[in-house]
Amino acid sequence: MREHIQDRDGFYTFLKFFVDWSVKSSYRKYQVEGLENIPADGSVIWASNHTNALMDPMVMLSSTRGRKVFVARADIFKKKWACKALTFLRVMPIYRIRDGINAVKQNDGAIAQATGVIMDGVPFVIFPEATHRPKHSLLKLSKGIFHIAESAIEKSKDGNPVYIQPIGVEYGDYFRFRNTVLIKFGKPANVTRFLEEHSDEPLPVAMQQMRTLLNDRMAEQIVYIPDDEDYDAIWEYAKLKADNPRYFKKTLDEIEKREGKLKGLLRIQAVDKQAVAEILALRENEPEKARELFKRVDDQRLWRLQNGISVYSIAHEPGRMMLFLKSLLVILGIPYYCFCGIVGSIKWVPILLILRGVKDDAFYNTARYGVRLGLAIPAVIVWALLFFLLLNWKLAAVLFVLSLPSLKYLYDYGEFFRRYISDIRWKVRKKRAPEIIL
């Protein structure tokens, strides 16, 4: 038994290998950047944006090999079995204002426990927005993270600094399984030094300045859009620009001339951020022109959604030859898709049943991941037994190997087919569309 939540645990470590594989294979592209920014000295609190329910801590868990302790809202710890399971998973409770003043008073114990975690050199992972929301934005950061940092500074006996590590988690899509995710570690904020430099100011004032600093550094790690009435129009227009091949290439070339070569998802993020920056600059410098533009973009967005057409189809419209090749791939992929549908039914049927009861769309991928994680090994065993008991071993071996990526192929083919249908709809209906702004 572990004496402290952060203590080493052989069984936990063994399970983490399987969990990490499952997390990373749940995305077509899983990329971690900025690990060199994690401080080698002192104690560290990881602070990340929170957009995708329980998938956020899962991708954070898999981002590095070492131990981590997470925090979650206290109400999910009420049942004894849940409390035991979450504690084993190194998740500890914290109370929020919405839980009531009396409940919040219990956070003194949580802060003391969190302080012990980071004093042991184990990252304490917190989502300071205090709730999840699928947006490229940030809510006001809660004070809890700063109280934990202050407590750690007070109890530090060796004089090592306490850091807050800003982290951005960027998903290619919040609701579609097998999309992409970028985990980006920014430059840490040295809280110890900051408070020393602001020692002549009242602590609440210094903490407010630290909150602003952390908000800015977290925003730097993501595609950040102010959360106001123009959010949807800004993101729609930014994606229309960024997904356009000519704009993407031109903008990426300019960025890489300034910042050096970028790789993978960093390239997409950089272009998205540039597109957003240009639109925000337009709104700042020419508000009337921006207002008219946003109105037209909103009209276009509503038409696009009503017609089931993706932004990518409009910005990256395929030519006839490309559409022909896509049609060929769709046809060729149908037999394997049907096979995967049969062998993957052990997992996708429970997923569908569970999703019917999920009210918050942000939990969709959490549910999909959870079922996949829980049924991955049982599904392999069931189909191995059926294949090798009913068929000759050569055919059974072939079918068994083909069955292993069944759920991944179902989602990947489904996404390809969705975009293919979107391309066709755009080809057929674009003459009836509102004026397209690119």
Contact 29, 265 (CB under 8 A): yes
pLDDT number for residue 40: 87
Does pLDDT of 76 surpass 90? no
Q: Does pLDDT of 107 surpass 80?
A: no
User: At 115, is the pLDDT very low, low, confident or very high (cuts 50, 70, 90)?
Assistant: confident
Q: Output Rg (C-alpha) for the chain, integer angstroms.
A: 24
CB neighbours (10 Å) of residue 29? 14
pLDDT of residue 103: 58
- Tokens at 30, concatenated: 């899983």
Is the predicted pLDDT of residue 179 greater than 80, yes or no?
yes
Tell me what the pLDDT averaged over the chain comes to: 91
List the structure tokens of 53: 């329910």
Name which of 245, 235, 306 is nearest 275 in CA terms.
235
3-class DSSP string for the chain: CCCCCCCCCHHHHHHHHHHHHHHHCCCCEEEEECHHHCCCCCEEEEEECCCCCCHHHHHHHCCCCCCCEEEEEHHHHCCHHHHHHHHHCCEEEECCHHHCHHHHCCHHHHHHHHHHHHHCCCCEEECCCCCCCCCCCCCCCCCHHHHHHHHHHHHCCCCCCEEEEEEEEEECCCCCCCCEEEEEECCCEEHHHHHHHCCCCCHHHHHHHHHHHHHHHHHHCCCCCCCCCCHHHHHHHHHHHHCCHHHHHHHHHHHHHHHCCCCCHHHHHHHHHHHHHHHHHHHHHCHHHHHHHHHHHHHHHHHHHHCCCCHHHHHCCCCHHHHHHHHHHHHHHHHHHHHHHHHCHHHHHHHHHHHCCCCCHHHHHHHHHHHHHHHHHHHHHHHHHHHHHHCCHHHHHHHHHHHCCHHHHHHHHHHHHHHHHHHHHHHHHHHHCCCCCC
**pTM score of the predicted model:** 0.93
- Asked if 43 and 152 touch (Cβ cutoff 8 Å), the reply is yes
pLDDT in tens, 185-216: 999 999 999 999 998 999 889 999 999 999 99
Residue 366 has pLDDT above 60, yes or no: yes
Indicate whether 436 pLDDT > 80: no
Q: Where are the domains of the chain?
A: 10-220, 231-306, 320-432
A 10 A CB-CB count for 372 gives: 22
In CATH, the architecture of 10-220 is 3-Layer(aba) Sandwich (3.40)
pLDDT at 151: 87
- The per-residue pLDDT for range 117-169, each reduced to its tens digit, is 998 889 999 999 988 999 999 999 988 899 889 888 888 767 789 999 999 99
Q: Residue 159: its pLDDT value, please?
A: 74
